[in-house]
Amino acid sequence: MLGAASIVETSHPDHAHLDLVGLALSILWLGALTFGLISAGENGWGDPRTVTAVVAGLAGLAVFLAFEARTPRPMLPLGLFRDIRFAVANVASFALGLTSYTSVFLYSMFLQQAQGWSPTQTGLRMAPLFLVQMVVSPAIGRLSQRYGHSALMAAGYLSSGLSMLGMCWVGPSSPYATIGLLFAIGGLGNALSIPTGSAAAMSFAPRERSGMVSAVINATRQGGTAIGIALLGALMSMRATTLLTAHLENAGIANAGALARAAVSRHDFAADAAMGEDGLRALFAVAYAGGFHAAMLTAAIVSFVTAGLLVAVLAPAEARSARETNQQG
């Protein structure tokens, strides 16, 4: 009711259309690609189901883009991406989903599986990630007006990258003080990057397309999250399985690969009498932490690259646009 009373309508009648074909194609390609990445973590990249799903997903993406480029009223107007600022903002949004949003899932798994906390204890220990974001977010509007969207976005991705890079050194017995501090740094990164990314994309497109632009920026972020959970989750699982297999082989355990896959994929800790369930769980925690490190390192690299892209491309483009606006005024 408050929205209806206070928000001015900005719809564009010429673009009021439900693109059912584009919607169906987007569901198909994203679903197939996500399934393929998850299958890779469980069955390997050479598995026929993995290959089929990944190829289908990439082919579906190509068909989706081709259709959207030709249909009169698409759900994803590709012409918007001719503005380098809008394109980079969406790349950054996708990276945000792939890294920061996905990391929430990975943090939860690490705290429960490697450190042994319950779901409730895990949620409480992740609180700094969200509390810092809540405290800092109200000031982002003023900071954006003073320093610009690109500067805050770059600082946010840099902070998130540092947080995730730091996670590469935590293990099953790491003190919570270290982990909590890294969560706080990550929360600061989210506070700087999430609202500014959305605001930047909205400011780079025509006002009458604000609803569509808002949907696009959220879709790229959620798409990045779906692919990130599948991709980084697969990387985490594969690395943990490899490490656990090596640990079991070094301990002289038969069928080490099968035991490792059962422990990582199904949390089945049945072992022979020589190892025992407790012994297998201890090795599992170390291996799972190693898989977590691989996923965090990958996410950190993506965050750092995105920060560099924002500094190298978006900041100069934003500055040029501001100068042109001042000259016209």
Would the pTM count as exceeding 0.75? yes
Report which residue type is found at 171: G
Give residue 316's pLDDT.
Answer: 86
Alpha-carbon span 141 to 149, nearest angstrom: 9
CA dihedral 198, 201, 206, 208 (to 10 degrees): -30
pLDDT reading at 3 higher than 70: no
Per residue in 202-251, pLDDT (tens digit) is: 877 777 677 777 888 888 999 999 999 999 999 999 999 999 999 989 98
pLDDT reading at 12 higher than 60: no
* Mean pLDDT for the chain overall: 88
Residues 6+ apart with CB under 8 A from 253: 259, 271, 272, 274, 275
23 falls in which pLDDT band (50, 70, 90)? confident
Give residue 59's pLDDT.
Answer: 96
The residue that leads in pLDDT, 253 or 33, is 33
Mean of the pLDDT values across residues 273-279? 69
Which one, of 170, 161, 151, lies nearest residue 301 by Cα? 161
Which one, of 186, 215, 196, 192, lies nearest residue 85 by Cα? 196
Give residue 309's pLDDT.
Answer: 94
Q: Lowest mean pLDDT of 99-113, 191-205, 279-293, 301-315, name the range.
A: 191-205
Per residue in 76-124, pLDDT (tens digit) is: 888 888 888 888 999 999 999 999 999 999 999 999 999 999 999 999 9
